[in-house]
Amino acid sequence: MIFLGILLSIAAIGFFCWLLFTLAVFALPFFAGLSAGTWAWHTGAGWLVAIIVGIVAAGLTLGIGQLLFVIVRPCGRGC
């Protein structure tokens, strides 16, 4: 029973590390879009422009992040 508990604990830690990384990938573009939209709203732009600025900023952040994941891959075979 103790062995099973240790294995399940290791699996749970691995799952939560995966979940944290996955959420971080999507949380950064969300926060960038929210910040850009809030900035646009406070500069006097209307609510529609602020939403558009936020969506564009989030999309650019997500796109650049995905592009960096493709370009900067971890070395697979003992660089």
The pLDDT tens digits of the residues spanning 50-72 come to: 999 999 999 999 999 889 888 88
* pLDDT-derived band at 34, boundaries 50, 70, 90: very high
Q: Give the CA-trace dihedral at 23, 39, 52, 61, to 10 degrees.
A: -40
Q: Is the pTM of this model over 0.85?
A: no
User: In angstroms, rounded to a whole number, what is the distance separating the alpha carbons of residues 62 and 38?
Assistant: 18
Give the per-residue pLDDT at 65.
Answer: 87
Read off the pLDDT of residues 5-22 as tens digits, 9 standing for 90 and up: 899 999 999 999 998 888
